[in-house]
């Protein structure tokens, strides 16, 4: 669970972004803004959204100029209306302008992921125990931030990386010689603390995975009636995850079918950045 964003992990991401934007300086700001000029700026939501990234924005401005004063006006995970002030930053006008774009790029992206996640979570039937989870379809280098945003939107995180859990997919099955062979080989190699998850794309494969005692079965690209039959066949013997081609409109029917989790790549690979602006006070 990503409840916080440790600076030791986020600083390298933010420093790279600042170097990318400020490597040659900021000739516009240096030409137009006096060196000692003071300013107050406010981060404002331009539309209704789920806010995420307060500490990231704070740290961007601190890295540009430690003397800047940043104040968060809304907590991560809060659903806010248009025109809500999300944060303020005070101090050197030059420093604020130099950090503006990088800070906004991060919080627009993270708030976009959190907003998309909340939409999927809100689509679950009332009192549903089904989880909405992300996938590894994250922006290279930004997985830490995007997965934190999923949590703030009310979703859950899937395995962190290839070394954190066993997930046997279609190409593993082909290479191993079948579902049972892949599961048995994985069980021989995996730590005793690791559960075995196997992807299946048919009810026959599901039966084979259950016979091989898979702990979790991923139902890949199955229509709702097939998912319902998969739940009936499984009878609680394994955790069931629906994945592949998941649209917002299918969330409720899949949850009612009885799956334990619905993994949605779109939470991170297709969530649009939301509109957040930084406004200088006159």
Exactly one of 47, 82, 169, 195 is catalytic; name it: 169
Tokens of 133: 């989870």
Decide if 101 is catalytic. Answer: yes
Both tokens of 32, joined, read 């137009």
147 is catalytic: no
Pair 40, 88: CB distance under 8 Å: yes
137 noted as active-site residue: yes
- Catalytic residue among 100, 146, 197, 199, which? 199
Query: Is residue 94 a contact partner of residue 29, using CB atoms and an 8 Å limit?
Result: yes
Cβ-based neighbour number of residue 204 at 10 Å: 10
Catalytic residue among 137, 159, 207, 256: 137
Q: What is the DSSP letter of 273?
A: P
Q: How far apart are CA 154 and CA 242, in angstroms?
A: 18
Q: Exactly one of 65, 201, 220, 229 is catalytic; name it.
A: 220
Do 238 and 216 contact (CB within 8 A), yes or no? yes
Structure tokens at 156: 């859950």
Residue from 208, 239, 207, 233 nearest 133 by CA:
239
In angstroms, what CA-CA distances link 203 with 160, 168, 171, 182, 207? 28, 16, 18, 17, 6
Beta-carbon contacts of residue 105 (< 8 Å; ≥ 6 apart) = 17, 273
Cα separation, 194 vs 239, in Å, equals: 14
Residue 199 is among the residues annotated as catalytic for this protein:
yes
Residues identified as active-site: 101, 137, 169, 199, 220
């Amino acid at each position: 669970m990503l409840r916080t964003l440790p600076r030791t992990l986020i600083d390298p991401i933010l420093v790279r972004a600042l170097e990318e934007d400020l490597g040659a300086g900021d000739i516009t700001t240096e030409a137009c803004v006096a060196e000692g000029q003071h300013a107050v700026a406010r981060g404002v939501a331009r539309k209704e959204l789920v806010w995420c990234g307060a500490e990231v924005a704070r740290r961007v401005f601190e890295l540009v100029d430690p003397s800047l004063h940043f104040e968060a006006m809304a907590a991560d995970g809060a659903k806010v209306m248009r025109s809500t002030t999300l944060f303020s930053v005070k101090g050197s006008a030059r420093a604020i302008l130099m950090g503006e774009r990088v800070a906004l790029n991060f919080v627009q992206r993270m708030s976009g992921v959190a907003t998309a996640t909340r939409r999927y979570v809100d689509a679950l039937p009332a009192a549903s125990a089904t989880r909405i989870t992300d996938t590894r379809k994250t922006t290279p280098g930004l997985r830490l931030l995007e997965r934190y945003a999923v949590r703030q939107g009310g979703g859950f995180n899937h395995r962190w990386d290839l070394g954190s859990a066993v997930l046997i997919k279609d190409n593993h099955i082909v290479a191993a010689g079948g579902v049972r062979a892949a599961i048995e080989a994985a069980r021989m190699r995996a730590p005793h603390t690791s559960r075995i998850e196997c992807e299946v794309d048919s009810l026959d494969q599901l039966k084979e995975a259950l016979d091989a005692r898979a702990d979790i079965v991923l139902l890949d690209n199955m229509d709702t009636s097939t998912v319902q039959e998969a739940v009936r066949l499984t009878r609680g013997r394994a955790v069931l995850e629906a994945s592949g081609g998941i649209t917002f409109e299918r969330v409720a029917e899949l949850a009612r079918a009885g799956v334990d989790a619905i993994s949605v790549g779109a939470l991170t690979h297709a969530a649009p950045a939301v509109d957040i602006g930084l406004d200088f006070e006159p």
